[in-house]
Structure 1
Amino acid sequence: MINGEVSFWWNQLGRPTQRPPLPGALRADVCIVGAGYTGLWTAYYLKKAAPGLRIVILEQRFAGYGASGRNGGWLTNSITGGREQYVATHGRDSAARFQTAMNDTVDEVIRVAAAEGIDADIVKGGEFTVACDVPQQRRLEASARAEQEWAETDVELLTAAEASARVNVVGATGAMWHPHCARIHPAKLAAGLAGVVEALGVEIYEDTTVTEITPHRAVTARGVVAADVVVRATEGFTAGLRGLHRAWLPMNSSLIATAPLAPAVWESIGWDACETLGDMAHAYMYAQRTADDRIAIGGRGVPYRFGSRTDSDGHTPAGTVDALRGILNRFFPATTGVTIDHAWSGVLGVPRDWA
């Protein structure tokens, strides 16, 4: 089993040839710090709207090195922290428009990937959340009722038989599903976006660590980039910037990927529509069926590191690997004994108010 080395996704795709670092001080219209999804999508839409802008992206390692190239491959419509906090601050109509915008974003990513020729193994199978005992079933039903109060969510509640017919999770008591989610290959999307924005004229400088962001300046050991606008797209690595150590919470998550499963195993599991799979346990899991017929399954391994420290190489403790393997085998007994090809971890950025 490979442990770490950034992620299974990058090992499968192959590490990109590293782009040159920042050659020295320069001036730009927009400087984006961080070449993950946030930074790359920002560059894409800015360049499409105003092709004449000089846009510079600074990245400490390589584009997609962080959470964008390590995640579970869910392109979904979730509103972090829930809609209710936005109802309290902005009203129900605004929260409903927010949800509609999140739904539309899933289709927009799919549209851009197709238009720009990015093959990211995208299948829009929806999001499937299963319950496996009585307390989980109660939470599932309550969650489904709450979601169905919003016309924009399109959530369906499934019986145990209906759930098992779609994804045969052993012991499932029910499930809920909505259509606004797609499976993706995270590294393929990140690499594809980086290539597209570069072709549009965006400058990406890798191996360039930004140590501080001040008004109109991004400071690095290789020089200072001055810009009319500096976009901080550092997500889970924000804690490493001077003065921002406590601004965002770096939360770690871990995954494993199996070897490709035999057709007989898939026959027992189903999962033909490639839904993303989650559950109603408090220590939740998330999974996908990959394009090459593996299962990639994740959860919170060691979620917080003392002093807001962040993971680097993706190495995952043996206990976390065993726990994820246990969930996999419990859900799908036919996977017992299947080889785990890769384990990895990564850090994501969480607002401390979850908004």
Structure 2
Amino acid sequence: MSNNPYFWLDSLGSIERRAALPGDRDADVVIVGGGYTGLWTAYYLAKADPGLRIVIVEAEYCGFGASGRNGGWVSGQFPVSEAKLTRRFGAAKAAAMTAALAGTVDEVGRATAAEGIDCDYTKGGTLSLVRSPAQLRRARTDPGFLDAEQTLALCGANDVLGGIYSEHCAALHPAKLVRGLAETVERLGVTIFEGTRALRIGRGVVVTDHGTVRAETVVRALEGYTAGLAGHRRNLAPVYSLMIATEPLPAEFWDRVGLKRRETFTDERRMVIYGQRTADDRLAFGGRGAPYHFGSRVRPEYERVPEVFEALRSTITELFGIEAPIAYRWGGPLGIPRDWMPSAGLRDGVAWAGGYVGDGVAAANLGGRTLADLIRGNQSELTALPWVNHRSRRWEPEPARWLGINVGLRATALLDAWDRRTAA
């Protein structure tokens, strides 16, 4: 296994870091965070108004966080169901949110092709496998339901009783996307400072460990690292998702398993798992289950939980009947709001987008386009979406936050175990 555990980033070779902020600076827009949200926001702002002075400050390097480590799903899924959105915002706004995310899958493909960003983008849709009677009862009512024969024609997994298919998903190489996007915005005139940690943000100002940036608009784009910013510890809970990647697998394996259009895949268990066939014929596979850490702490050692890695390896064996050689093991935090409702907004000169609950590859693009409209004062279909200016309730203080999140994780695992027992 490589010394760099992050498969996607390691596959790019060495990463050359940009210079840090050299001191105090003025700008029109300053963006805190060099991941998808910050970069897409900069991209659409720079395309719309090339004269804007846009500065990005990033604590590590562009793509260091979830944008360079995720499962590579450009997914039209939203963490809040359309039924719940309808109850809260009405049918028209709920449908608009669903349609906007579905369209975003294509927009990511369009934008990357237009800018020459080769990120292995392939729109093959996504397939959720149904593998127990309990799952089958829940899945039959979904409009995308497939029977066992139809499902196996797409993905030759074990014990398949059916599946749910959606066309609104693409697979890509996330680190190629984020690094290519950073180079693109620089060509458009955006200035990126890496190795520059934001300590505090407020109206018109970002205070960093290398100086202060003053700008009319400040954008917070930190996702799973939001809790580390002064005054924001309870805004988003950083919960870890872990991944493994196999060595490239032989042609006979793919002849049996399929995924010919690189369909992303999961199954109907409650504890989220997610996988894709990479462009170089590996399985990149991840899942939840790692604990939330007291005080919303984010540390490198939390990215490695041997029992979760073993559970992921075992799940690959269970799904596909193969003892696959594992080449990489890694993880990282994602941001979860108290009500699981992502948001994008602008108030009092401070903009934000995030709380994607693990579905951020597409949502961050939508967030970037939405923030570009809000910052420029444009009223559009995007600025009318129900997530705009939504404010989630803050998470409870500790120890209630630690207890609640980890009890919820444990309950989810127990419900999945119950489904398996009732199927036996």
On whether the aligned pair clears a TM of 0.5, the verdict is: yes
Partner of 1:293 in structure 2?
Answer: 281
Partner of 1:55 in structure 2?
Answer: 54
Q: Is 1:339 the equivalent of 2:325?
A: yes
1:119 to 1:261, Cα distance in 2 relative to 1, 3 A? same
Counterpart code for 2:329: A
Q: CA deviation at 1:86?
A: 2.3
Question: What is the DSSP-based 3-state SS (H/G/I as helix, E as strand, rest coil) of the residue aligned with 1:330?
Answer: helix
1:342-353 correspondence to structure 2 within 5 Å:
342-353=328-339
Q: Is 1:308 the equivalent of 2:308?
A: no
1:314 to 1:63, Cα distance in 2 relative to 1, 3 A? farther
Give the percent of matched residue pairs that are identical in Structure 1 and Structure 2: 45
1:96-135 correspondence to structure 2 within 5 Å:
96-135=95-134
1:161-240 correspondence to structure 2 within 5 Å:
161-240=149-228
Counterpart code for 1:224: T
Q: CA deviation at 1:252?
A: 0.7
Q: Is 1:250 the equivalent of 2:238?
A: yes
* 2:127–2:263 CA contact under 8 A, matched in 1: yes
RMSD of aligned Cα (Å): 1.3
Partner of 1:267 in structure 2?
Answer: 255
- Structure 1: distance between partners of 2:64 and 2:207: 20
Q: CA deviation at 1:139?
A: 2.1
Q: CA deviation at 1:306?
A: 1.7
- Structure 1: distance between partners of 2:268 and 2:222: 30
- Structure 2: distance between partners of 1:79 and 1:169: 26
Q: CA deviation at 1:284?
A: 2.3
Partner of 1:153 in structure 2?
Answer: none
- Structure 1: distance between partners of 2:209 and 2:179: 26
Partner of 1:14 in structure 2?
Answer: 13
Question: What is the DSSP-based 3-state SS (H/G/I as helix, E as strand, rest coil) of the residue aligned with 2:11?
Answer: helix
1:15 to 1:352, Cα distance in 2 relative to 1, 3 A? farther
* 1:2–1:343 CA contact under 8 A, matched in 2: no
* 1:311–1:346 CA contact under 8 A, matched in 2: no
* 2:240–2:303 CA contact under 8 A, matched in 1: no
- Structure 2: distance between partners of 1:71 and 1:81: 20
Q: CA deviation at 1:331?
A: 0.4
Q: CA deviation at 1:313?
A: 6.7
Q: CA deviation at 1:87?
A: 1.4
- Structure 2: distance between partners of 1:100 and 1:81: 14
Q: What is the TM-score normalised by the length of structure 2?
A: 0.78
Counterpart code for 2:109: I
Q: CA deviation at 1:84?
A: 2.8
Q: CA deviation at 1:311?
A: 3.7
Partner of 2:26 in structure 1?
Answer: 27
Q: CA deviation at 1:229?
A: 0.2
* 1:250–1:347 CA contact under 8 A, matched in 2: yes
- Structure 1: distance between partners of 2:181 and 2:328: 25
* 2:271–2:289 CA contact under 8 A, matched in 1: no
Between 295-304 and 273-282, report the one with greater CA deviation: 295-304
Q: Gapped runs of 5+ residues in structure 2?
A: 342-424
Counterpart code for 1:38: T
Counterpart code for 2:120: D
- Structure 1: distance between partners of 2:217 and 2:140: 46
Partner of 1:70 in structure 2?
Answer: 69
Partner of 1:39 in structure 2?
Answer: 38
Question: What is the DSSP-based 3-state SS (H/G/I as helix, E as strand, rest coil) of the residue aligned with 1:255?
Answer: strand
How many residues of Structure 1 are paired with residues of Structure 2 in the alignment? Answer: 341
Question: What is the DSSP-based 3-state SS (H/G/I as helix, E as strand, rest coil) of the residue aligned with 2:275?
Answer: strand
CA deviation string 1:286-330 (max 9, x = no partner): 000000000011001414122111243774222111100010000
Counterpart code for 1:200: L
Counterpart code for 1:332: F
Q: What is the TM-score normalised by the length of structure 1?
A: 0.93
1:36 to 1:201, Cα distance in 2 relative to 1, 3 A? same
Q: CA deviation at 1:89?
A: 2.8
* 1:74–1:183 CA contact under 8 A, matched in 2: yes
Highest RCO, 1 vs 2 (Cα 8 Å, sep ≥ 6): 1
Question: What is the DSSP-based 3-state SS (H/G/I as helix, E as strand, rest coil) of the residue aligned with 1:13?
Answer: coil
1:31 to 1:6, Cα distance in 2 relative to 1, 3 A? farther
* 1:6–1:65 CA contact under 8 A, matched in 2: no
Q: Gapped runs of 5+ residues in structure 1?
A: 149-155
Say which of 232, 247, 267 aligns to 1:279. 267
Counterpart code for 1:172: V
* 2:123–2:169 CA contact under 8 A, matched in 1: yes
- Structure 1: distance between partners of 2:48 and 2:258: 44
CA deviation string 1:21-52 (max 9, x = no partner): 00001000000000100000000000111110
Counterpart code for 2:332: G
